[in-house]
């Protein structure tokens, strides 16, 4: 789909047709495309848990405050982030020339190793970017999605067996819609959001 149409067509779906399965092949194709998303220092903080099993979904349903799309969607993709991604710099830069390695690996370590807040910020930034890519890739492949942050992160982490350094960033439901989509909710006009050169120089015309 042309990007202009894709951007307009993507909507948050909450009414899924419960009888639709999504295959491994389809899920992997979407996640593969999304994994070309950018990340700081190319650390690719994202990890994905794809849940289709009814009993796991039923627990997630409770931990997502009974949002019914969890039950009715074809799969829940929990986009997670690796807080220790900076420790993988050696591996990620393995094939780079030595001057690149010598520059970036110590830099990454210095920046992140003693700053848990920045580790978390980076996981959230990268997780947000990859989540958006998943939603566009899915839409382009004929699937609808819904981003969700209405969940209890501790309970979700426990149920999905997330390791200590892996945190849930966003849950994405994916499936086929059961009903036609209602009108898109409010959007600011771009002029209401835009400031030129420095903040405060808006032009509302
Ligand atoms: C970070 C984030 C968290 C969200 N959490 C939820 C959620 O828990 N439940 C839900 O129904 N929608 C959730 N949404 C969807 C928004 O309500 C939706 O994107 C917004 O109303 C705009 O609608 P649209 O996506 O159809 O354009 C979330 C969206 C984002 C980006």
Q: Which atom of ligand 1 is nearest to the CA of 128?
A: 1
Burial code of 152-184, b = ≥16 C-beta within 10 A, e = fewer?
A: eeeebbebbebeeebbbbbbbbbbbeeeeeeee
- What was the pLDDT predicted at 2? 96
Task: Collapse the DSSP code of 196 into the 3-class scheme (helix H, G, I; strand E, B; otherwise coil) and give the result.
Answer: coil
- What was the pLDDT predicted at 204? 67
pLDDT at 71 over 70: yes
Nearest protein Cα to ligand 1, atom 12: 148
pLDDT at 205 over 70: no
When the candidates are 1.10.10.10, 3.30.110.40, 3.40.50.11890, 3.40.109.10, the CATH number that belongs to 3-192 is 3.40.109.10
Residue to mutate (ligand 1; options 123, 124, 128, 147; most atoms within 8 A of CB): 147
Would the CB of 7 count as within 6 Å of ligand 1?
Answer: no
Q: How does pLDDT run across 118-177, given as a tens digit for each residue?
A: 999 999 999 999 999 999 999 999 999 999 999 999 999 999 999 999 999 999 999 999
pTM strictly above 0.75: yes
């Amino acid at each position: 789909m042309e990007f202009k149409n894709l951007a307009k067509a993507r909507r948050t779906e909450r009414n899924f047709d419960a009888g639709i399965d999504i295959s491994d092949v389809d899920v992997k194709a979407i996640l593969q495309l999304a994994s070309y998303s950018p990340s700081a220092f190319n650390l690719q903080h994202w990890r994905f848990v794809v849940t289709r099993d009814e009993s796991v979904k039923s627990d997630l349903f409770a931990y997502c405050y009974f949002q019914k799309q969890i039950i009715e969607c074809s799969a829940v993709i929990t986009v997670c982030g690796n807080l220790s991604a900076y420790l993988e710099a050696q591996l990620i830069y393995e094939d780079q020339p030595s001057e690149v390695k010598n520059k970036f690996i110590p830099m990454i370590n210095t920046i992140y190793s003693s700053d848990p807040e920045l580790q978390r910020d980076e996981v959230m930034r990268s997780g947000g970017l990859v989540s958006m890519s998943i939603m566009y890739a899915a839409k382009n492949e004929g699937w609808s999605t819904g981003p969700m942050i209405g969940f209890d992160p501790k309970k979700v982490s426990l149920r999905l067996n997330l390791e200590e350094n892996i945190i849930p960033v966003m849950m994405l439901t994916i499936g086929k819609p059961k009903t036609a989509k209602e009108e898109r909710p409010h959007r600011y006009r771009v002029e209401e959001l835009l400031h030129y050169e420095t903040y405060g120089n808006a032009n509302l015309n």
